[in-house]
Amino acid sequence: MLLIQLLGCISSKKVGGLNSPVKGVYGNPAALWKAGYDFSSLGINAVFIRSGSLNQEFIERAKKEGVKIYVEFPVLNGKEYLSKHPEAWPITEKGNRAEPADWFMGICPTDPGFRADRQQALATILSSYSIDGIWLDYFHWHAQFETPNPILPETCFCERCMGLFENYAGLKLPEGPIADQADWILRNQEVAWRKWRTGVLVEWADLLGKQVKSVDGSLLTGIYHCGWMPADHDSALYKNLGIDLAALSGKADVLSPMLFHQLKGRPVSWVGEYMNWLSGQSWLKGAGAPKIWPIVQGYNGTGQVTPKEFKQVLEFGLLPPSTGVMPFSAESIAGDTAKLKVLKEVYKN
């Protein structure tokens, strides 16, 4: 019943109050060209391209086709950096280096060398290409959430993080090994610790957002973030990943929840339920509130996302408060004529 009610909202309301929502695609959109399509024929008006797939040839052709170009920028993915800078390794509450979380290896987000590295990488993109915005990705403390059974380590308890937390909370940690200090924090100062951690990500968003705007005030800054409800997995969105959506909402022009239903072991209807929850959040009300452009799953991950499911998640992703949507990923749907037909039907309608 909920599925029918939510789908009915699409036909009875303008999406997000707009006549022309953002109709995007994420990944390496050039895959659609190789498959024989142009963006306008599919109804696409915005592309979200991985920074590793970006090149001048793509920029020139995409601009000729009249689409907006947004670049995904990996923030806290530390695998490559850690191979040369082990001092930035995230440390667990046991005092050990954190293990990779499945395919993902995060990093300590307070490491100054890594921060400088990311700022330089962002500056290179902004100075090299004519684009319309930057989307911050891998924007969370070390964890893996794109799975039914998420990997949620407690990090980071390196000496630098502990010192920064002492200054933030105005306290002195007891003497002893890292494991004992971490245990004391989680037993006696957990509220302050969690709040400090979310503040670190807000600071990252503010820093990189200002860097983008300093180049051109019209450039958009977006954030890809885990699409969990606040209470999911024992409040892991806030507690482990360090994401405070209300606080981040003031630091981005657009928030893009990652609503990968199948990868997370959720039914299709969950995408609509999340959007329904989002529509009631007070931090999305009033002037200055960010736009919402979800990213939904077209990729066949642990199983097949059928064309029917693909249509449903696209339509759910366009429910208010959304003013845009994009599927993950361009490569996965480029060779699937049934899904491309669905994409065109939804985007052209």
Above 80 in pLDDT, residue 10? no
Query: pLDDT band for position 1 (50/70/90)?
Result: very low
Average confidence score pLDDT of the chain? 94
The CA-based dihedral angle spanning residues 58, 253, 267, 312, taken in that order and rounded to the nearest 10 degrees: -60
- The total of structural domains in the chain comes to 1
Q: What's the CA gap between 221 and 149, in Å, rounded? A: 30
Do the domain assignments include residue 180?
A: no
Q: What's the CA gap between 230 and 246, in Å, rounded? A: 11
Q: Hey, CA dihedral for 306, 309, 315, 317, is it positive or negative?
A: negative
Report the pLDDT value the prediction gives residue 19, as an integer from 0 to 100: 57
Tokens for 66? Answer: 């009249």
Do the domain assignments include residue 179?
A: no
Q: Stretch 308-336: mean pLDDT, rounded?
A: 97
pLDDT single digits (tens) 138-153: 999 999 999 999 999 9
Report the pLDDT value the prediction gives residue 349, as an integer from 0 to 100: 86
Do the domain assignments include residue 349?
A: no
Is the backbone peptide bond immediately before 40 cis, with ω within 30 degrees of 0? no
Do the domain assignments include residue 167?
A: no
Which helix H or strand E contains 212, and what residues bound it?
A: helix 190-215
Do the domain assignments include residue 203?
A: yes
In the chain, what percentage of residues exceed pLDDT 70? 95
Do the domain assignments include residue 15?
A: no
Query: pLDDT band for position 303 (50/70/90)?
Result: confident
The residues facing 23 across adjacent strands are 325
Do the domain assignments include residue 59?
A: yes
Do the domain assignments include residue 163?
A: no
Above 70 in pLDDT, residue 271? yes
pTM of the predicted structure, to 2 decimals:
0.94
What angle in degrees, to the nearest 10, is found between the helix axes of 269-278 and 307-317?
A: 0
Q: Stretch 309-337: mean pLDDT, rounded?
A: 97
Residues 6 or more apart whose CB falls under 8 angstroms from that of 213 comprise 219, 221
CATH number of the domain residue 198 falls in:
3.20.20.80
Q: DSSP of 31-90, one letter per residue? A: HHHHTT--HHHHT--EEEEEGGG--HHHHHHHHHTT-EEEEEEE-S--HHHHTT-GGG--
Q: Which domain holds residue 48?
A: 21-153+194-343
Above 90 in pLDDT, residue 61? yes
pLDDT single digits (tens) 208-238: 999 999 999 999 999 999 999 999 999 999 9
Cα angle for residues 49, 289, 133 (degrees, 5° grid)? 20
pLDDT single digits (tens) 124-180: 999 999 999 999 999 999 999 999 999 999 999 999 999 999 999 999 999 999 999
pLDDT single digits (tens) 83-110: 999 999 999 999 999 999 999 999 999 9
Locate all alpha helices (DSSP H) within 158-189, ordered by sequence: 159-169, 178-188
Above 80 in pLDDT, residue 285? yes
Above 50 in pLDDT, residue 17? no
Q: What's the CA gap between 196 and 135, in Å, rounded? A: 24
